[in-house]
């Protein structure tokens, strides 16, 4: 199919300089006037940019017509090649039954109500310890690096079973995987040590199982009809570790910034902390999936009335879709009681975020605890001076200087019955 007559726009859209919370204003115009339009991406990929909620949801929800094979963010990553062969265990680029085999294997570690109930005290302890450390400082810190990243790093390490001392390995790998600037050689250099470490850990856990995610994944694999190879198990753990900290740390930081910039919404939350779980949904609607997700058409088809040829790439602009007034009234207003039902911030359909229940748990416990233990938390610089990441596809603040008067001890005013997250309620 020829696309010659369709104008091609350039991605990424310029960052808004008026509002630190929105997708580029250009997305609103596209949604109204050219909801499926051709774009040239920084990696050289030419794709259809899809911006309306209904169309993005339809494409994410139909894995038969829209394959994940290219990779999720190949439109922005310098090392990405949508046509490279699949590596063993690279489940994020698989479809159908091949993919489901992996999804079923990891699910029990991150999404069952029982597992989440086990994880909550671990997450609470990580957050309390981090605040205890900050309480020893001079009442100023950089929230993203001093709180958000250490907390989410410790949490995903604890979920998989990798000690905090080894965090450098997966922080480096994660930064390279989600980088917009690291090339293929840089990616390999960053990921290889993590794979080597995990391979070694796998052998140790095979010989002497522990009470951790990696040991349970080995046991489930051994009992499965089609056991996983060591390389596949290593890859699953590496993907979880790499995907599971900066995403949540960034939403936590961006979310805190949004709350501090909307004092009336923050006051609602303080007055009624049981609103935290629904506030999290609104924050994920606001900030989740910001870089957009790539799919490839498996056959000639249509989306939003536009003809799409087999083999064409699509960039599904999740954040723009979640700001579609047809789906969310007054979509650019942060409304913590909106509930955000049906948002696409964690994706939708077969590949929707594996870690969404653990992300919800971490965000909920973090905000509940910050409200309770650090009620005086505030920005230490004007809003306009908060820097944003430019080298990562995980979009959000690069640093968030904050200050406070006092961090209350963990035991003081501890909630008798914290609000359960949607995953825990099941």
- Of 35 and 291, nearer to ligand HEM (C-beta) is 291
- Let me know: does 154 contact 365? Beta carbons within 8 Å: no
DSSP 379: E
- Let me know: does 415 contact 372? Beta carbons within 8 Å: yes
Q: What 3-state class would DSSP assign to 257?
A: helix
Residue 91 Cβ, how far from ligand HEM at the closest point, in Å? 6
Q: Which of 282-290, 320-328, 364-372, 374-382 is the region at the interface with ligand HEM (rule: CB under 6 A)?
A: 282-290
110 interacts with ligand HEM by CB under 6 A: yes
List the Cα angle 212/249/110 in 5-degree steps: 30
| Residues of span 171-210 touching ligand HEM by CB under 6 A | none
Q: Measured between alpha carbons, how far is residue 39 from residues 12, 50, 173, 204 in Å?
A: 9, 10, 29, 48
Residue 323 Cβ, how far from ligand HEM at the closest point, in Å? 15
| Helix-strand-coil split of the chain, %, nearest 5 | 50, 10, 40
The token pair that represents 104 in the structure block: 């079923």
72 interacts with ligand HEM by CB under 6 A: yes
244 interacts with ligand HEM by CB under 6 A: yes
- Let me know: does 352 contact 316? Beta carbons within 8 Å: no
**Total of residues contacting ligand HEM (CB under 6 A):** 29
Residue 68 Cβ, how far from ligand HEM at the closest point, in Å? 6
Q: Which of 169-177, 201-209, 351-359, 366-374 is the region at the interface with ligand HEM (rule: CB under 6 A)?
A: 351-359
- Length of the chain in terms of residues written: 426
CA distance 321 to 340: 13
92 interacts with ligand HEM by CB under 6 A: yes
Q: Which of 19-27, 51-59, 243-251, 334-342 is the region at the interface with ligand HEM (rule: CB under 6 A)?
A: 243-251
235 interacts with ligand HEM by CB under 6 A: no
From the list 410, 407, 297, 363, the residue with the least C-alpha distance to 119 is: 363
Which parts of 10-147 fold into alpha helices (H)? 26-33, 53-60, 96-110, 113-135, 143
Q: Which of 4-12, 121-129, 245-253, 258-266 is the region at the interface with ligand HEM (rule: CB under 6 A)?
A: 245-253
From the list 338, 231, 353, the residue with the least C-alpha distance to 293 is: 353
Q: What 3-state class would DSSP assign to 365?
A: helix
| Residues of span 126-155 touching ligand HEM by CB under 6 A | none
239 interacts with ligand HEM by CB under 6 A: yes
251 interacts with ligand HEM by CB under 6 A: yes
- Residue of closest CB approach to ligand HEM: 355
Candidates 243, 258, 266, 410: give the one binding ligand HEM (CB under 6 A): 243
Candidates 174, 304, 345, 396: give the one binding ligand HEM (CB under 6 A): 345
CA distance 105 to 224: 9
Which parts of 208-262 fold into alpha helices (H)? 213-223, 230-243, 246-261
Residue 239 Cβ, how far from ligand HEM at the closest point, in Å? 5
68 interacts with ligand HEM by CB under 6 A: yes
* Residue 305-324 contact track with ligand HEM, rule CB under 6 A, x = bound: -------------x------
- Let me know: does 140 contact 403? Beta carbons within 8 Å: yes
From the list 292, 334, 338, 330, the residue with the least C-alpha distance to 314 is: 292
247 interacts with ligand HEM by CB under 6 A: yes
Q: What 3-state class would DSSP assign to 141?
A: strand
- Of 151 and 293, nearer to ligand HEM (C-beta) is 293
Residue 260 Cβ, how far from ligand HEM at the closest point, in Å? 18
- Of 23 and 345, nearer to ligand HEM (C-beta) is 345
358 interacts with ligand HEM by CB under 6 A: yes
355 interacts with ligand HEM by CB under 6 A: yes
List the Cα angle 130/133/136 in 5-degree steps: 150
248 interacts with ligand HEM by CB under 6 A: yes
Residue 136 Cβ, how far from ligand HEM at the closest point, in Å? 28
Judge residue 5's burial from the number of C-beta atoms within 10 Å of its C-beta, 0-12 exposed, 13-18 middle, 19 or more buried: exposed
**Contact positions toward ligand HEM, by CB under 6 A?**
60, 68, 72, 91-92, 110, 156, 239-240, 243-244, 247-248, 251, 284, 288-289, 293, 318, 345-347, 351-355, 358-359
């Amino acid at each position: 199919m020829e696309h010659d007559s369709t104008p091609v726009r350039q991605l990424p859209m310029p960052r808004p300089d008026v509002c630190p919370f929105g997708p580029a204003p250009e997305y609103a115009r596209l949604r109204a006037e050219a909801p499926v339009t051709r774009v040239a991406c920084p990696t050289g990929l030419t794709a259809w940019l899809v911006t309306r909620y209904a169309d993005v949801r339809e494409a994410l929800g139909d894995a038969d017509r829209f394959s994940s094979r290219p990779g999720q963010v190949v439109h922005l990553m310098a090392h990405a090649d949508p046509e490279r062969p699949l590596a063993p265990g690279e489940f994020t680029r698989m479809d159908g039954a091949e993919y489901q085999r992996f999804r079923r294997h990891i699910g029990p570690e991150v999404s069952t109500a029982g597992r989440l109930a086990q994880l909550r005290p671990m997450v609470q302890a990580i957050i309390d310890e981090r605040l205890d450390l900050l309480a020893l400082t001079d009442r100023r810190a950089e929230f993203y690096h001093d709180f958000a990243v250490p907390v989410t790093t410790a949490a995903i390490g604890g979920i998989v079973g990798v000690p905090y001392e080894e965090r450098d390995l997966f922080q480096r790998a994660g930064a390279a995987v989600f980088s917009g600037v690291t090339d293929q050689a840089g990616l390999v250099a960053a990921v290889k040590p993590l794979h080597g470490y995990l391979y070694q850990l796998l052998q140790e856990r095979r010989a002497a199982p522990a009470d951790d995610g990696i040991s349970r994944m080995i046991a489930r694999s051994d009992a499965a009809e089609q056991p996983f190879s060591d390389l596949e198990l290593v890859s699953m753990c590496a993907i979880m570790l790499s995907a599971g900290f900066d995403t949540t740390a960034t939403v936590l930081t961006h979310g805190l910034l949004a709350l501090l910039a909307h004092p009336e919404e923050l006051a609602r939350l303080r007055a009624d902390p049981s609103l935290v779980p629904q506030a999290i949904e609104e924050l994920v609607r606001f900030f989740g999936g910001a870089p957009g997700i790539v799919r490839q058409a498996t056959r000639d088809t249509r989306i939003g009335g536009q003809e799409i040829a087999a083999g064409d790439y699509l960039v599904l602009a999740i954040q723009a879709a979640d700001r579609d007034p047809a789906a969310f009234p007054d979509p650019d207003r942060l409304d913590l009681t909106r509930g955000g039902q049906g948002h696409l911030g964690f994706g939708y359909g077969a590949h929707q975020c594996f870690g969404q229940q653990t992300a919800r748990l971490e965000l909920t416990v973090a905000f509940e605890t910050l409200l309770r233990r650090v009620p005086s938390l505030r920005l230490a610089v004007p809003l306009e001076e908060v820097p944003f990441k430019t080298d990562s596809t995980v979009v959000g603040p690069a640093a968030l200087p904050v200050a406070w008067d006092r961090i209350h001890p963990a035991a003081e005013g501890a909630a008798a019955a914290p609000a359960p997250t949607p995953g825990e309620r099941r």
